[in-house]
Amino acid sequence: MDYATLIQVLDSALRLATPLLLACLAGLFSERGGIFDIGLEGKMLMAGMASGAVAFLTGLVWLGVGAAIGASILFSMIHGLASITFRGNQLISGVALNFLASGMTVLIAQALFRQGGRTPPLTGNARFSPIDLPFAEAMADVPIIGPLYAEVLSGHSTLVYVALLAVPVTWWVLYRTRFGLRLRAVGENPESVDTAGISVVRLRYSALVITGILCGLAGAYMATALQAGFGREMTAGRGYIALAALIFAKWRPWYALGATFLFGFLQALALRPDVIERSFGMAIPVPALDALPYILTVIVLAGFVGKAIPPRAGGQPYVKER
Amino acid sequence: MTLMKTFLGAAATLALGAGAALADPALIYDLGGKFDKSFNEAAYGGAMRWVEETGGSYKELEMQSEAQREQALSRLAESGANPIVMTGFAFGDVLNSVAPEYPDTKFVIIDMVVDQPNVRSIVFTEEQGSYLVGMMAAKASKTGTVGFIGGMDIPLIRKFACGYVQGVKAANPDAVIVQNMTGTTPSAWNDPVKGSELTKAQISQGADVIYAAAGGTGIGVLQTAADEGILSIGVDSNQNHLHPGKVLTSMVKRVDNAVYESFMAGEAVEPGIAVMDLAAGGVGFAMDDNNAELVSEEMKAAVDEAAAKIIAGEISVHDYMSDNTCPVE
């Protein structure tokens, strides 16, 4: 693989990794708080539809992002209501929300625009345009790191940088703030948090709000930055890949960046069968590459590469002892 | 109260009577969804034309998952719909087992051959239409590299690809064709994000005209092609209007005609295999105001000539599905 091709693949990988990264961090907050969330996919779909619709109606992409976050938080709260307040099964609630989102997005978009569950194409300010990072042009001629900065890092839409920034912020919130400490505790041992006089329910709801915000950004990124509008089922299973990445990352923020970028890179590589053939001297079937993220996750789960231990209280509704 | 009962009873009898007297045709859309701006939407267009002309009504169903197919067919057959038209190769196996259970119902399947006495199979010669747009792509390309992006990797899509490659090579034997399939699962029909990335990957390999035969994924391909300033070719329906001046042409497959004619024939629809080829107007390329400036006189003349030759049998375009191989890469 020559350097120019590598740059192109990395560029593509970053774009493909961004929605995964946002969704993965979203899942990280809720699972660290002890709420399993299968419904990332559904929240992203809702967010994509809301952002596409509102951005088209108002002509302003940021309003679209706001709507995306709102729609996604709404779904998060339904999940919270079912699994925190009513102590229902978190997996079932998540799956139900995915089904609901799959049908509802098409229904709403169809009722609004009559274009078959699609939102109309966005143009101009209704859509994110790529931004150039400072000095991108001046740096482009510097060997090796120049193209890396100018081509790979620069020239993406704002949400890509928001996603990258979300990683250190997540790390800081989780490991350096009081909220983060309590959130981690509530996922491991909610009784101790409760004993300390802190509300388990409120903590878990706040975790789900953050999950909603991040999923909202992921959906908005797909509908208004990568694409020019929402299309039926456009997330195409990315919510599930993000869950796999979360396990692969062992529920840690920096690992999440690594895992999602690796998955994005594998996806980008799968788009270039010619490159694979040239680099490895043989053709690897594209489906094999597509399956690789899942295979890697299974390997990690099976305990071959360290241990992936989920938050201990995950999946269990908290019942105060009488 | 009794009066009310009588009224209700009368109304119910009327409703039932109406249902029994008129066998409405039915249309089932495949997973891409009714408004995919492509294949299924063309079918919908044909049904709407029938409604406008005859004032009749029809039943319709949209598939949401693979598991629904058999149930959908049986339910429509039991409700008395006749004929039942379905779009998409994926119904093949299911129809093969359902059709014998309802010998009095006529089924029409588009894009697949099902050998049953009450089934009409309508197939298109996509390779011929793709051949023509392939010629246009080769002539419009400045880099000598053109691209093809397919949806799910199935023989039918390879048939599109193979016809396209033959057309490109006919117009420019030195042309390079970059081919990609979006995936191997049905979600490959609805992944515009991946379609966009494939487009960018092909552009980086020098492609400046890209033909998308990928359902909803194609929307992403056309969008990115327009954003990046290269030409694209739409598929199934006329997609020239999606990005005026940026879509070179569309390979149209007159699924609408197939549905319209089946509906018109009603219960008398004839079982057997119907081939909608170039000569029958089943496939072709779309010309309208949106792409008039992109297609030069010379290009149009060359393609028209090739079309005439195909119809006359002087050019034979290889059909991938006949032997599952393609003579050119």
pLDDT tens for each residue of B226-239: 999 999 999 988 88
Candidates A222, A232, A290; nearest CB to B190: A232
* Spatial contact of B167 and B189, defined as CB atoms under 8 Å apart: no
> What confidence score (pLDDT) does residue B9 get?
52
Task: Please report which helix (H) or strand (E) contains residue B122, including its range.
Answer: strand B119-124
User: Under an 8 A CB cutoff, do B184 and A274 touch?
Assistant: no
Which of B15-29, B78-92, B254-268, B291-305 has the least mean pLDDT? B15-29
Chain-chain contact of A233 with B190 (C-beta, under 8 angstroms): yes
In a domain, A283, yes or no: no
Using the predicted structure, report yes or no on whether residue B15 has a pLDDT greater than 60.
Answer: no
Contact between B33 and A106 using a beta-carbon 8 Å cutoff = yes
- Residue B223 in any domain: the answer is yes
Burial of residue A151 (CB within 10 Å: 0-12, 13-18, 19+) is: middle
Q: Residues B79, B226: one domain?
A: no
Residue B222 C-alpha from the chain's centroid: 17
- For B28, the enclosing helix (H) or strand (E) is strand B26-29
What span, in angstroms and rounded, lies between the C-alpha atoms of B325 and B320?
Answer: 6
The answer to whether residue A138 is domain-embedded is no
Are B151 and B158 spatial neighbours (Cβ–Cβ below 8 Å)?
no
The pLDDT, as a whole number, for residue B20 is 43
Distance CA B63, CA B154 (A): 19
The H or E element that residue A279 is part of is helix A273-280
Residues B167 and B300 both lie in one domain: yes
Mean pLDDT by 10-residue block, N- to C-terminus, for chain A (322 residues)? 86 94 96 93 96 94 96 96 92 94 91 84 88 81 82 89 96 95 93 91 95 96 92 89 91 94 90 83 80 82 76 86 60
Quote the tokens at residue B171. 């117009």
Nearest to A283 by CA among A272, A268, A295, A273: A273
Residues of chain B contacting residue A19, judged by C-beta atoms under 8 Å apart: 193
Q: How many CB pairs under 8 A join A and B?
A: 80
| B114 part of a folded domain | yes
**Mutate which of B34, B35, B199 to test chain A, going by most A C-beta atoms within 10 A?**
B35
Give chain A's domain count: 1
Given an 8 Å threshold on Cβ–Cβ distance, is B204 in contact with A233?
A: no
Cβ atoms B329, B170 nearer than 8 A: no
CB < 8 Å to A232, chain B: 33, 190, 216
Residues from chain B contacting residue A237 (CB–CB below 8 Å): 187
Distance (Å, whole) CA B222 – CA B216: 10
Q: Is B140 among the domain residues?
A: yes
pLDDT tens profile B145-196: 999 999 999 888 999 999 999 999 999 999 999 999 998 888 888 899 999 9
Average pLDDT over residues B293-312: 91
User: Which has the higher per-residue pLDDT, A280 or B289?
Assistant: B289
B151 contact A CB<8A: no
Domain annotation covers residue A215: yes
B165 shares a domain with B142 = yes
Mean pLDDT (chain B) is 87
Give whole-number Cα distances, A119 to A49, A198, B36, in Å.
7, 44, 12
Do the chains contact at A227 and B192, CB–CB below 8 Å?
yes
- Structure confidence by residue, pLDDT tens digits, B105-150: 999 999 889 999 999 999 999 999 999 999 999 999 999 999 999 9
Distance CA A174, CA A184 (A): 7
Query: Quick check: helix, strand or coil at residue B302?
Result: helix
CA B225 to chain centre: 21
Question: Is pLDDT at B8 greater than 70 in this prediction?
Answer: no
CB nearest A8 (choices: B35, B194, B204): B204
Integer angstrom CA distances of residue B126 from B236, B253, B255, B305: 9, 7, 11, 18
Chain A contact set for B192 (CB, 8 A): 227, 231, 234
Q: Which domain holds residue B68?
A: 24-125+257-276
Q: Which one has a higher pLDDT value, B135 or B329? A: B135
Of B187, B201, B219, nearest to A236 by CB-CB distance is B187
| pLDDT for residue B1 | 47
Which candidate from A16, A286, A287 shows the least CB-CB separation from B197? A16
Is residue B3 pLDDT above 60, yes or no?
A: no
Burial of A319 by CB count in 10 Å (0-12 exposed, 13-18 middle, 19+ buried)? exposed
Q: Is residue B115 domain-shared with residue B132, that is, in the same domain? A: no
- Structural domain of residue A116, as residue ranges? 3-127+143-236
Q: Exposed (0-12), middle (13-18) or buried (19+): which is A3, by Cβ within 10 Å?
A: exposed
Judge: B223–A228 Cβ closer than 8 Å, yes or no: yes
Q: Is A308 a member of any domain?
A: no
User: Residue A68: its pLDDT value, please?
Assistant: 96
Please answer yes or no on whether B35 and A117 come within 8 Å at the CB atom: yes
| Contact B33/A at CB under 8 A | yes
* ipTM of the complex as predicted: 0.87
Per-residue pLDDT band at B16 (split at 50, 70, 90): very low
Cβ of A12 within 8 Å of Cβ of B201? The answer is yes
Whether residues B265 and B248 share a domain: the answer is no
Structure tokens at B300: 């149009």
| Residue B169 sits in the same domain as residue B231 | yes
Specify the length of chain A in residues: 322
CB nearest B200 (choices: A12, A232, A286)? A12
pLDDT at B7 over 70: no
CA-CA-CA-CA torsion for A168, A174, A175, A178, nearest 10 degrees?
130
Contact of B187 with chain A, judged by CB distance below 8 Å, is answered with yes
